[in-house]
């Protein structure tokens, strides 16, 4: 026996083996359809008895394994069900001959056989035969299960007769010596009359009867016979059969202690329910507690009584003793080179029992022993099967990393150099199954939590093997996805040289198949999520920038009251829920404008040891239609935080949320969401986009002032021009208004305001006419209109007795020095002891500067030239000592926009 059954378990010793095979030409799908129905009859309750007969089905069984049927009866083929097709009476003789030839293969062990014929009708099909059943088609065969039950009952009759025949002690009869195939040549010429030989024959027969009792559901009798066989065989040092007797004793005890079975969830025992076996795999019966007939006959033919349970408990091994006996049996098997398959299967059975007992360390010792069992020259397929089963058994006992190791060995065996056609698909599939054992997931979100699990060196090796296997499969998209995953998740563990090699490989792959953000679905249904490059570059902060001062929108004060009624009611809640997502979605207190370029600043870092080129980097947004303007970056090697500004234009109004950014690095396009970046700092990513506003440019006919005034409030923008006028002088100021935006300017307002608290000093000196200007409204984009403002200086300085004191209050020197507005220039205060008048003989003309400010703000499709401020500061003419009268000095007016 050279091919082990890795799916065997202890309760298989209780089953009888039935082979189901096709005869002639039978469609594969139809054969397995009938096979599943046959295999569903996994246990049969024998009529007129409380005993159950368990059946193990196979559709492929090596005849050489059948030769070990005397050694362990559950290996013996006792039933044959043949499935064939026959369309006419002419084909029938040939079909019947094939069936008889199939029976000859297992003739030495067969108890009974059946032939199921599909497609034959007529006189032959109407004949009533016990060993054959005729059906018109594969669809019209409703009584297949009933036929199989009758067949199983006939097997039980033969089994029971053989058990009774061999269990009865016939004095004087010579007991035959049961042998395994390789022993026959060793017993040639032995003295068959010696006491030693007779004990050997008795011990082996007792063990054989124990097997038959176990198959016939007589557990107590089986335990008794196994105990007797152990004593007899131990006395004659018949180690191979002693190991078999000990294993039988263990199997009977396991069936008693674990009636649900030891082969896992799919192997539980349940009446008339089972899972059909796949090619090369065993079929386990369903889950039901073993029923023992207390009235069944014992070996002496005496009906058992209630003491049977007591006797069973006495003869049955304890859970701990079961494992010790398994160890002893395996040690005996190890003495025989030709018993390697028996030894290996015993190790597997013991592991399944230990898994039920949750004794993983001891189970691993059995598996370690199984690894080193030499089975001779195995084919590549048999090696793959062996390593795969070892992997499943290690998984069963919770040794996940060890399981992954053997699964990976099986994957490498699929592409061994000795295989003419390497199975790269099978290799890739097995490699995927090893991922959980190495704490590796193909979802990059599992690596964003901060704590790395598993051995990074092993994980990188496995990912490299996945890349290579997918390339050999002819799927470059898979190679790009796995290589991207390797670079993203293992970047911290790669050396500088490895980073260069991985990125070069990635660029080579993406030149043929660019990487994207689509989900890749494998043939077996596994889905590979996209891998965004959130570490190339690393983003540390995201900040939404306000519009330039000249483009910022402001609410019209007159319209504030209209919005109060539409505001939502305030509801107080003592429960405050804070989380990172709410902070990121917090609304920012400024607005963007539809159609204007908006900016978002990112602080990025390049972790690579060389210059990183980032192509097509832009913003990911939601809420409104947004046109992202892509940017290209070139970050120095291992640079510090580097500011990057991404821009875009909102095309519609509403609330816009900046969800992240997209990049193209090494040929891989990535969508990086902020919610998947735990280390990113942001003050909020939600901002309101208001409808498009008009943009107005203002030019004047006067020269610009050297002083730039600061805005009085956030709603105002200012520019300045200057002019000098004498008292009584008049001059015109031409203001040109040009619409440089994309919206019509519908309204225009012009107001003036003095910028001083000394209003009693000033008079009105600005006037204008708006009728001509307003007639050109609405002002279309690109059009301009002019406005004329008359400036007339008319001041009266008489009767201002306290003027000097008023000016002194502002800290302004009145010594006759030329000074300007107190708001624009601060001069030295007047010393307390300095005389008010200037020195004798000098006549200085003090002057007055007038500042004219143009300040404006726009909102909601309208133009408001809010304020035209005029600040007029008067300075007193100083009476000179030798003067005959008051002299009015020239008035200088400083005009500032």
- Contact partners, residue 532, CB within 8 Å, separation at least 6: 444, 488, 517, 670, 671, 672, 673, 676
pLDDT band at residue 557 using 50, 70 and 90 as cut-offs? low
State residue 756's pLDDT score.
Answer: 55
Element (H, E) at 612: strand 612-622
Query: With 70 as the cut, is the pLDDT of residue 361 above it?
Result: yes
Contacts of 810-818 with CB under 8 Å at 24 or more apart are: 812/875, 814/846, 814/875, 814/876, 814/878, 815/878, 816/844, 816/846, 816/878, 817/844, 817/846, 818/844, 818/846, 818/847
pLDDT tens per residue, range 516-551: 999 999 888 889 999 999 999 999 999 999 998 888
344 vs 798, residue with greater confidence = 344
pLDDT digits (tens, 9 = 90+) for 664-710: 999 999 999 998 887 788 878 899 999 988 888 888 888 877 666 66
CA distances from 390 to 5, 384, 397, 402 (A): 12, 10, 11, 9
- Please give the pLDDT value at position 834: 40
Query: Are the folds of 538-556+585-690 and 696-797+845-872 the same?
Result: yes
Flag the least confident range among 170-184, 365-379, 584-598, 655-669.
170-184
Percent of the chain beyond pLDDT 90?
Answer: 49
* pLDDT tens, residue by residue, 499-516: 999 999 999 999 989 999
Q: Is the pLDDT of residue 22 over 90?
A: yes
183 in Cβ contact with 190 (< 8 Å): no
What is the structure's pLDDT at 796?
A: 60
How deeply is 105 buried, as exposed, middle or buried, from its count of CB atoms within 10 A (0-12, 13-18, 19+)? middle
pLDDT bucket at 301, cuts 50 / 70 / 90? very low
C-alpha distance from residue 541 to each of 58, 602, 683 (Å): 65, 6, 9
How many residues make up the chain in this entry? 897
Per-residue pLDDT at 294 exceeds 50:
no
pLDDT of residue 309: 54
Per-residue pLDDT tens for 452-464? 888 999 999 999 9
How far apart CA 116 and CA 132 sit, in angstroms, is: 6
Q: Is the pLDDT of residue 299 over 90?
A: no
Q: Is the peptide bond before 747 cis (omega within 30 degrees of 0)?
A: no
Average pLDDT of the residues of the chain? 79
Q: Kindly state the tokens that stand for 562.
A: 């209209």
Label the pairing between strands 520-521 and 538-544: unpaired
**Is residue 893 within 8 Å of residue 793, measured between CB atoms?**
yes
Distance CA 464, CA 486 (A): 8
pLDDT at 809: 45
- Alpha carbon separation from 21 to 8, 210, 698 (Å, rounded): 21, 30, 98
pLDDT at 167 over 50: yes
Question: Is 80 exceeded by the pLDDT of residue 307?
Answer: no
Backbone angles phi, psi at 888, to 5 degrees: -85, 125
Q: Give the pLDDT confidence score for residue 612 in this predicted structure.
A: 93
254-281 tens-digit pLDDT = 999 998 888 864 444 543 323 333 333 3
Summarised one tens digit per residue, pLDDT across range 200-259 is: 999 999 999 999 999 999 999 999 999 999 999 999 999 999 999 999 999 999 999 998
- Domain spanning 186-263+315-377: which superfamily? Tetratricopeptide repeat domain (1.25.40.10)
Question: 538-556+585-690: what fold?
Answer: Immunoglobulin-like (2.60.40)
**CB contact burial 285-308 (16+ within 10 A = b; e otherwise):** bbbbebebbeebbbbeeeebeeeb
Q: Which residue has the higher pLDDT, 648 or 829?
A: 648
Predicted pLDDT at 749: 79
Residue 865 pLDDT > 70, yes or no? no
* Per-residue model confidence (pLDDT) at position 445: 86
Confirm if 540 and 604 have CB atoms less than 8 A apart: yes
pLDDT: which is higher, 804 or 756: 756
Q: Binning pLDDT at 50, 70 and 90, where does residue 891 land? A: very low
Query: 3-class SS at 21?
Result: strand
Give 49's pLDDT tier (boundaries 50, 70, 90).
confident
CA distance 882 to 20: 142
How far is 532 from 459, CA to CA, in rounded Å?
A: 19
* Burial class of residue 803 (count of CB atoms within 10 Å of its CB; 0-12, 13-18, 19+): middle
Reply yes or no on whether the pLDDT at 19 is more than 50: yes
Instruction: Report pTM.
Output: 0.72
Tokens linked to 770: 């708006």
The whole-angstrom separation of Cα 729 and Cα 892 is: 10
**3-class SS at 732?**
strand
Percent of the chain exceeding pLDDT 70 equals: 76
> How high is the pLDDT of residue 394?
95
The pLDDT score that the predictor gives to residue 661 is 95
pLDDT surpasses 90 at 451: no
pLDDT of residue 173: 63
Strands 784-792 and 766-768: antiparallel
The confidence band for 576, taking pLDDT boundaries of 50, 70 and 90, is very low
- Who wins on pLDDT, 879 or 197? 197
Which of 622, 688, 696 has the alpha carbon at shortest distance from 658?
A: 622
- Quick check: 592 and 598 in contact, CB under 8 A? yes
- Which fold does the domain 696-797+845-872 belong to in CATH? Immunoglobulin-like (2.60.40)
Beta bridge partners of 118: 85, 135
The confidence score (pLDDT) of residue 11 equals: 94
Q: Is 661 in contact with 547 (CB distance < 8 Å)?
A: no
In angstroms, rounded to a whole number, what is the distance separating the alpha carbons of residues 247 and 139?
Answer: 44
Backbone angles phi, psi at 488, to 5 degrees: -75, -45
* Rounded average pLDDT over 813-823: 34
Lowest mean pLDDT among 33-42, 799-808, 824-833: 824-833
Rg of the Cα atoms in the chain: 50
Q: How confident is the model at residue 713 (pLDDT cuts 50, 70, 90)?
A: low
The helix (run of H) or strand (run of E) holding residue 649 is: strand 642-650
pLDDT value for 778: 84
- List pLDDT tens digits, range 463-474: 999 999 999 999
3-class DSSP string for 434-456: HCHHHCCCCCHHHHCCCCCCCCH
Q: Which tokens belong to 439?
A: 């704490």
Contacts of 606 (CB under 8 A, 6+ apart): 536, 537, 538, 612, 635, 636, 637, 638, 639, 642
Per-residue model confidence (pLDDT) at position 133 = 92
Least confident of 68-72, 672-676, 743-747, 807-811: 807-811
Rounded CA separation 316/337 (Å): 30
> 182-196 in b/e burial notation, b at 16+ Cβ within 10 A?
eeeeeeeeeeeeeee
Report whether the peptide linkage leading into residue 50 is cis, meaning its omega lies within 30 degrees of zero: no
Stated as kind and residue range, the H or E segment containing 77 is strand 77-85
Q: What is the pLDDT of residue 287?
A: 32
Q: Give the whole-angstrom CA distance, residue 739 versus residue 696.
A: 5
The encoded tokens of residue 768 equal 């204008």
What is the predicted pLDDT for the residue at 873? 32
Q: Where are the domains of the chain?
A: 10-167, 186-263+315-377, 378-421, 439-528, 538-556+585-690, 696-797+845-872
Contact 529, 482 (CB under 8 A): no
Cβ neighbors of 118 (< 8 A, separation 6 or more) are 30, 83, 84, 85, 86, 135, 136, 137, 138, 141
Given a cut of 70, whether residue 430 has pLDDT beyond it is yes
Residue 572 and residue 853: Cα distance in Å, rounded?
46
pLDDT category at 877 given cuts 50, 70, 90 is: very low
What local confidence, expressed as pLDDT, does residue 654 receive?
A: 93
Is 87 strand, coil or helix? coil
Q: Residue 581's closest CA among 655, 661, 654, 686?
A: 686
Label the pairing between strands 612-622 and 631-635: antiparallel
Provide the CATH number for the domain formed by 10-167 in this structure. 3.40.50
Q: 422: helix, coil or strand?
A: coil
């Amino acid at each position: 026996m050279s091919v082990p059954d890795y799916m065997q378990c202890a309760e298989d010793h209780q089953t009888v083996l039935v082979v189901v095979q096709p005869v002639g030409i039978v469609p594969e799908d139809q054969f397995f359809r009938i096979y599943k129905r046959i295999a569903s009859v996994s246990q049969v309750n024998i009529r007129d008895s409380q005993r159950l007969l368990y059946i193990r089905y196979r559709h492929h069984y090596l005849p050489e394994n059948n030769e070990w049927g005397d050694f362990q009866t559950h290996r013996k083929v006792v039933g044959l069900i043949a499935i064939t097709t026959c369309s006419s009476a002419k084909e029938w003789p040939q079909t019947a001959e094939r069936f008889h030839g199939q029976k000859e293969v297992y003739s030495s062990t067969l108890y009974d056989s059946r032939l199921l014929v599909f497609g034959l009708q007529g006189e032959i099909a109407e004949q009533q035969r016990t060993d054959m059943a005729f059906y018109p088609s594969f669809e019209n065969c409703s009584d297949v299960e009933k036929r199989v039950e009758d067949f199983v009952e006939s097997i039980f009759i033969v089994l029971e007769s053989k058990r009774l025949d061999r269990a009865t002690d016939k004095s004087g009869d010579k007991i035959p010596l049961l042998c395994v195939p390789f022993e026959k040549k060793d017993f040639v010429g032995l003295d068959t009359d010696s006491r030693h030989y007779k004990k050997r024959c008795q011990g082996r027969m007792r063990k054989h009867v124990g097997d038959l009792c176990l198959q016939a559901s007589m557990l107590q009798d089986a335990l008794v016979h196994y105990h007797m066989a152990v004593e007899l065989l131990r006395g004659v040092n018949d180690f191979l059969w002693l190991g078999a007797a000990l294993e039988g004793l263990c199997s009977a005890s396991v069936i008693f202690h674990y009636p649900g079975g030891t082969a896992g969830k799919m192997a539980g025992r349940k009446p008339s329910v089972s899972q059909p076996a796949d090619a090369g795999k065993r079929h386990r019966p369903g889950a039901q507690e073993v029923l023992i007939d207390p009235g069944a006959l014992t070996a002496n033919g005496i009906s058992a009584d209630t003491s049977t349970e007591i006797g069973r408990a006495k003869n049955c091994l304890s859970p701990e003793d079961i494992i010790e006996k398994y160890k002893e049996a395996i040690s005996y098997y190890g003495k025989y080179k030709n018993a390697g398959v028996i030894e290996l299967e015993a190790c597997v059975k013991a592991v399944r029992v230990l898994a039920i007992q949750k004794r993983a360390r001891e189970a691993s010792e059995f598996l370690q022993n199984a690894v080193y069992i030499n089975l001779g020259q195995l084919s590549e397929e048999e090696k793959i099967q062996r390593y795969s089963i070892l992997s499943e058994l290690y998984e069963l006992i919770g040794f996940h990393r060890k399981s992954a190791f053997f699964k990976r060995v099986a994957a490498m065996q699929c592409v061994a150099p000795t295989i003419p056609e390497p199975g790269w698909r099978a290799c890739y599939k097995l490699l995927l199954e090893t991922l959980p054992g190495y704490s590796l997931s193909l979802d990059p979100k599992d690596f964003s939590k901060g704590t790395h699990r598993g051995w990074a060196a092993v994980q990188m090796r496995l990912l490299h093997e996945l890349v290579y296997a997918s390339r050999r499969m002819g799927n470059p998209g898979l190679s790009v996805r796995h290589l991207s995953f390797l670079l993203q998740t293992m970047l911290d563990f790669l050396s500088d040289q490895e980073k260069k090699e991985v990125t070069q490989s990635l660029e080579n792959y993406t030149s043929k198949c660019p990487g994207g953000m689509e989900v890749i679905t494998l043939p077996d249904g596994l889905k590979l999520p996209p891998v965004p490059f959130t570490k190339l570059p690393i983003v540390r902060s995201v900040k939404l920038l306000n519009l330039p001062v000249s483009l910022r929108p402001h609410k019209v004060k007159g319209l504030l009251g209209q919005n109060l009624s539409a505001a939502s009611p305030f509801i107080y809640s003592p429960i405050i829920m804070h989380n990172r997502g709410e902070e990121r979605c917090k609304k920012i207190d400024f607005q963007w404008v539809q159609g204007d370029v908006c900016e978002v600043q990112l602080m990025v870092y390049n972790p690579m040891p060389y210059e990183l080129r980032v192509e097509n980097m832009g913003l990911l947004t939601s809420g409104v239609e947004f046109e992202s303007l892509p940017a290209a970056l070139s970050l120095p090697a291992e640079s510090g935080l580097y500011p990057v500004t991404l821009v875009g234009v909102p095309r519609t109004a509403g609330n816009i949320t900046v969800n992240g950014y997209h990049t193209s690095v090494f040929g891989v396009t990535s969508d990086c969401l902020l919610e998947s970046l735990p280390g990113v700092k942001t003050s909020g990513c939600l901002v309101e986009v208001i409808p498009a506003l008009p943009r107005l440019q203002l030019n004047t006919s006067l020269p610009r002032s050297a002083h730039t005034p600061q805005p009085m409030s956030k709603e105002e923008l200012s520019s300045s021009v200057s002019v000098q006028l004498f008292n009584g002088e008049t001059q015109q100021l031409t203001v040109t208004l040009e619409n440089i935006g994309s919206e019509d300017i519908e309204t225009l307002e012009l107001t003036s305001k003095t910028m001083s608290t000394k209003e009693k000093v000033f008079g009105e000196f600005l006037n204008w006419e708006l009728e001509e200007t307003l007639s050109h409204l609405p002002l279309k984009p690109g059009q301009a209109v002019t406005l004329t403002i008359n400036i007339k200086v008319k001041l009266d300085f008489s009767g201002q007795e306290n003027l000097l004191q008023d000016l002194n209050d502002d800290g302004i020197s009145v010594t006759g020095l030329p000074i300007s507005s107190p708001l624009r220039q601060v001069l030295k205060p007047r010393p307390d002891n300095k005389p008010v008048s200037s020195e004798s003989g000098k006549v200085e003309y003090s002057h007055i500067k007038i500042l004219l400010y143009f300040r404006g703000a726009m909102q909601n499709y309208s133009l408001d030239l809010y304020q035209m401020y005029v600040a007029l500061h008067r300075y007193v003419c100083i009476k000179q000592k030798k003067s005959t009268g008051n002299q009015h000095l020239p008035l200088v007016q400083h005009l500032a926009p």
